[in-house]
Each structure stands twice: as C-alpha cells, then as structure tokens.
C-alpha cells in the first residue's frame, strides 16, 4: 500500500528530511508539503517534485503527518489541523521541547503521536534523530518513523523523559562544533595564518577526529592521550582549556539548552 507522507511547515529541517527521503527512494508523488508562503511551496515543488497542499488537505490525504514548524507555532498549527486529522493518522513532531501529550490533548482521542529530535546534518544524511512514542503510538508507528528518519542518518529510540537532554546534546550539538571551529579559526588568525588556510586545517582536523571517534572503537580519552606527548605541545593547550573552565562551561551550556527545551514544552511564545 502506498503511504503518503506530508511535511507541514517545510523549513530547513522539513526540506532536509524530504530531500533525504527522496534520495532513499520515496516517490515525490507520495510526498506532500505545506508552507506558509506560496513562493516557498512553489520552490519546494520545483526543487523536489513534491506536491504543495494546504495544512487541512495534508491532514485529510496523508497517512503520516510530520510537523516541522517552530515550537512556538505548534499550537496555532494544531488549532488549524485538529478538525481535519482522523484518529488513524500517525502524527510525528519534529519540534524541540513540545511533549507528545501537547498533541494528544489537541487531536482526536487515540491519535498516535511520535516525537523526534533530529539535527541539521540531516542535510548530508548524517543526522542523529532521537525517537520517542506517545501514549497511542505502536511498534509499527515507531518502525515507520525510523524508516523515514533513517533516510537522513542514524536513529535512536529513547524514553520521552530523555528528549530534552537529547535535544541539548544532539539536536543543538552541531552548533557547538561549528562554534568550536569558528573559535579555533580565530586562534589561527592570532597565530598569523590566513583565514582560509586556518579554516581548512581545522575543518579537516575535525573530520579526521570525528571519523576516528566513530570508527576506531577507542574511548575519546585514549584518542586525546595519543595526541598528547610528554612535555609536548598539546598538554600546554589542554592546561589552558582546563584553566579556562571549558569542560565546566560545556556542562553548563548543555544544561541551559536542556532547561530551555523544558520551557518550550508549553508551546508558548515566551
């Protein structure tokens, strides 16, 4: 049976998902999209061959609805959708913070809801997507969600109580690495290197380190020790990182991201 999937609020994350699904073999004819602006819908059609529809049309004709609007826009979208979503539709939320209960309270009783936190490496099929079932979501619903998000990278099931922490780690995670690259490139400038060369050196070092983290099977401490020669250069840098409290700063930063995810639970504008 053909399964129609609709992405509602197709911005950065929604488009990355669509693109990955088509790359993994989904027929564009089975993919529906909604966007707030008509030009955006036309752009998505031109780029991917998917069908632009209204939110209400998507609710009526797609088997699976993936909601990728901002958390603050979710309440308004659900007010619009609720009268049109039959209770047998699978509703997948990609929004930070918003719990499955938020959807269950606003949709027909018994509607299956799955919460997913993915990340922007979905654009290069290297996403980390963390998946949790709501009250009425079955093993089949979770497997279908994994199939969709598996098109753009890795998936992991977690209890919903861990979603805010996962949002802080992997949802926002790419931003921390980009920030690190930016700061290390600045350091290269300070040390007298041209910006483009500093950028290339850091990016390739990041790719090499990430590949070793994924493929070597070694603990990160061991990998770092292997770089850190006695009385060498690296230990001087590590001492400065410790003196400046970088480890504590990272722990506090992720805790703050987790707390903000919790605050977004109400879907309010604040």
Ligand X SMILES: O=C(O)[C@@H]1CCC=N1
Binding positions for ligand X, rule: CB under 6 A = 96, 167, 171-172
Name which of ligand X, ligand NAI, none residue 36 binds, using a CB cut-off of 5 to 8 Å depending on partner kind: ligand NAI
Question: Which CA distances in Å does 57 have to 46, 62, 233?
Answer: 20, 8, 62
Residue 35, interface with ligand NAI (CB under 6 A)? yes
Measured from each CB, the residue nearest to ligand X is: 171
Applying CB under 6 A, which of residues 13, 17, 92, 133 lies at the interface with ligand NAI?
13
Looking at residues 40 to 69 of the shown chain, list those that interact with ligand NAI (rule: CB under 6 A). Answer: 55, 68-69
Q: Which residues pair with 117 in a beta bridge?
A: 130
Phi, psi of 94 (to 5 degrees): -105, 10
Name which of ligand X, ligand NAI, none residue 99 binds, using a CB cut-off of 5 to 8 Å depending on partner kind: none
Name which of ligand X, ligand NAI, none residue 118 binds, using a CB cut-off of 5 to 8 Å depending on partner kind: ligand NAI
Burial class (CB in 10 A: 0-12, 13-18, 19+), 166: buried
State the DSSP code for 158.
-
Q: Give the nearer residue to ligand NAI in terms of CB position, either 157 or 224.
A: 157
Name which of ligand X, ligand NAI, none residue 77 binds, using a CB cut-off of 5 to 8 Å depending on partner kind: ligand NAI
Residue 96, interface with ligand NAI (CB under 6 A)? yes
Look at residues 9, 253, 55, 18 and name the one whose alpha carbon lies nearest to residue 148: 18
Q: What is the DSSP string of 207-230?
A: HHHHHHHHHS---HHHHHHHH--T
Can you tell me which residue has the tokens 């929604």?
A: 14
Q: Give the nearer residue to ligand X in terms of CB position, either 28 or 174.
A: 174
Q: What is the DSSP string of 28-93?
A: GGGEEEE-SSHHHHHHHHHHH-PEE--HHHHHHH-SEEEE-S-GGGHHHHHHHHGGG--TTSEEEE
Name which of ligand X, ligand NAI, none residue 239 binds, using a CB cut-off of 5 to 8 Å depending on partner kind: none
CA distance 246 to 230: 22
Name which of ligand NAI, ligand X, none residue 69 binds, using a CB cut-off of 5 to 8 Å depending on partner kind: ligand NAI
| Contact stretch for ligand NAI (CB under 6 A) within 3-11, 19-27, 137-145, 214-222 | 3-11
Look at residues 158, 122, 92, 138 and name the one whose alpha carbon lies nearest to residue 24: 122
Applying CB under 6 A, which of residues 101, 120, 228, 266 lies at the interface with ligand NAI?
120
CA distance 67 to 77: 9
Applying CB under 6 A, which of residues 12, 47, 222, 244 lies at the interface with ligand NAI?
12
Applying CB under 6 A, which of residues 6, 19, 33, 34 lies at the interface with ligand NAI?
34
CA distance 9 to 37: 10
Q: Which residues bind ligand NAI (CB under 6 A)?
A: 8-9, 11-14, 34-36, 55, 68-71, 73, 76-77, 94-96, 117-120, 171
């Amino acid at each position: 049976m053909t399964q129609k999937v609709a992405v509602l609020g197709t911005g950065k994350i929604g488009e990355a998902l669509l693109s990955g699904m088509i790359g993994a073999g989904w027929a564009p004819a089975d993919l529906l999209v909604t966007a707030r602006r008509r030009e955006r819908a036309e752009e998505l059609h031109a780029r991917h061959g998917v069908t632009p529809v209204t939110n209400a049309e998507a609710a009526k004709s797609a088997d699976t609805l993936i909601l990728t609007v901002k958390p603050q826009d979710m309440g308004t979208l659900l007010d619009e959708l609720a009268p049109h979503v039959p209770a047998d539709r699978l509703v997948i939320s990609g929004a930070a913070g918003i719990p499955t209960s938020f959807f269950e309270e606003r949709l027909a009783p018994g509607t299956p809801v799955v919460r997913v936190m993915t990340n922007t490496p979905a654009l290069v099929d290297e996403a980390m997507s963390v998946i949790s079932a709501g009250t009425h979501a079955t093993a089949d619903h979770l497997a279908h969600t994994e199939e969709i998000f598996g098109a753009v990278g890795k998936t992991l099931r977690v209890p919903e109580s861990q979603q805010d922490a996962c949002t802080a780690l992997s949802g926002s995670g790419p931003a921390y690495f980009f920030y690190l690259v930016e700061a290390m490139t600045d350091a290269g400038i300070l040390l007298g290197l041209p910006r483009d060369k500093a950028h290339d050196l850091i990016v390739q070092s990041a790719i090499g380190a990430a590949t070793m983290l994924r493929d070597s099977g070694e603990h990160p401490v061991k990998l770092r020790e292997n770089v850190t020669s006695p009385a060498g250069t690296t230990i001087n840098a590590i001492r400065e990182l410790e003196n400046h409290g970088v480890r504590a700063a990272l722990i506090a930063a992720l805790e703050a991201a987790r707390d903000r995810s919790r605050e977004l639970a109400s879907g309010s504008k604040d």
